Amino acid sequence: EIVLTQSPATLSLSPGERATLSCRASQFVGRFLAWYQQKPGQAPRLLIYDTSNRATGIPARFSGSGSGTDFTLTIDSVAPEDFALYYCQQRSTYTFGQGTKLEI
């Protein structure tokens, strides 16, 4: 089974700062890595798929990069509504990472 390890577990920032979230796969997953955002009491929301493609309606401040086993989600100038949990998912065995909490 492919294990996705996200870091850091918690990221403390202020609005307007840049957020960099990492997701590392235990095996090669190519470019097939997605990112989700989840707020309390809500279902996850797809942000990025296939490493760098933004899902419909996702603001341009969200971007993804990486390949193979190392991937990054970047949020340029974090907005107040961006404070949430973030998860990555790979397409080989569909597992999720354990999540990164972005907090103020």
Partner 1 sequence: QVQLVQSGAEVKKPGSSVKVSCRTSGGTFTTHAISWVRQAPGQGLEWLGGINPMYETSNYAQKFRDRVTITADEPTSTAFMELTSLRSEDTAVYYCARRSVGGEDATFFYAMDIWGQGTSVTVSS
**Which residues bind to partner 1, rule: CB under 8 A?**
1, 32, 34, 36, 38, 43-46, 49-50, 55-56, 85, 87, 89-91, 93-99
* Distance of closest approach, residue 29 Cβ to partner 1, in angstroms: 10
* Contact assessment for residue 26 and residue 95, using Cβ atoms and an 8 Å cutoff: no
* Contact assessment for residue 37 and residue 85, using Cβ atoms and an 8 Å cutoff: yes
* Distance of closest approach, residue 38 Cβ to partner 1, in angstroms: 8
Instruction: Identify which of residues 8 and 16 has a Cβ nearer to partner 1 in the complex.
Output: 8
What gap in Å lies between CA 54 and CA 7, rounded to an integer?
Answer: 21
